[in-house]
Amino acid sequence: MSKLEDATRDWLEALGFKVADEGLWVEALTHGSTGAARDYQRLEFLGDRVLGLSIAEQLYRRNGGAEGELAQRLNALVSRQACASLAREIGAADHVRLGKQARDDGAADSDNVLGDIMESLLGASFVESGFDATRNVVVKLWQPAIEGRAGRAKHPKSALQEWAAGNRRRAPEYEVIERSGPDHAARFTVRVSVRNVGEVEATAGSKQEAETEAARLFMEKFG
């Protein structure tokens, strides 16, 4: 495992991470396209759970809303898009280790890659420093989003589901009609249809995001 660059160490520590085991942090920033023996996938799996619990705790303490409202906000704050947006904001793309082909394909700005990297950093922090220290970093980095509007509006898929029921229509049906691109930059095209009303297609970097966008466009057109 190669050495962690000084600039990357300084970047991580400025964000609030404690860096002792260099190999762990190199792993957290290494994409599978490099061919390295260890990449960020296992740490991303762990960080996803750490992030979810950290945000859920903050929402519980700060918000007296019902379970459904808390869940809606949680889903928005820990989504791949939210993680990728934050990763861009903190400059993660400059420190991701990518194979040449993946970099040439634009993986450094991929929502899939950046979202995973954000979570893998949290996983590395959990292994290195434990939950409390990692939660503190999450609170610091996610505070603007937690205090903002993310997840406060009704989710497009929920809105469409309720619209269909309220208009005595069958439930919306979602279908993936095309998948293209390499894994790190995959594109999904989804069609949503409501019988006897119409259908709309949308494309995004994940099936979930494409379904959400399709529902939003459907409501714009038919709602």
- Which residues are designated catalytic? 48, 119
Residue 83 burial (10 A CB sphere; 0-12, 13-18, 19+) = buried
Q: How far apart are CA 221 and CA 199, in angstroms?
A: 9
134 neighbors 51 (Cβ within 8 angstroms): no
What three-state secondary structure class fits 193?
Answer: strand
Of 133, 140, 144, 214, nearest to 175 by C-alpha is 214
Distance of CA 95 to the CA centre of its chain: 18
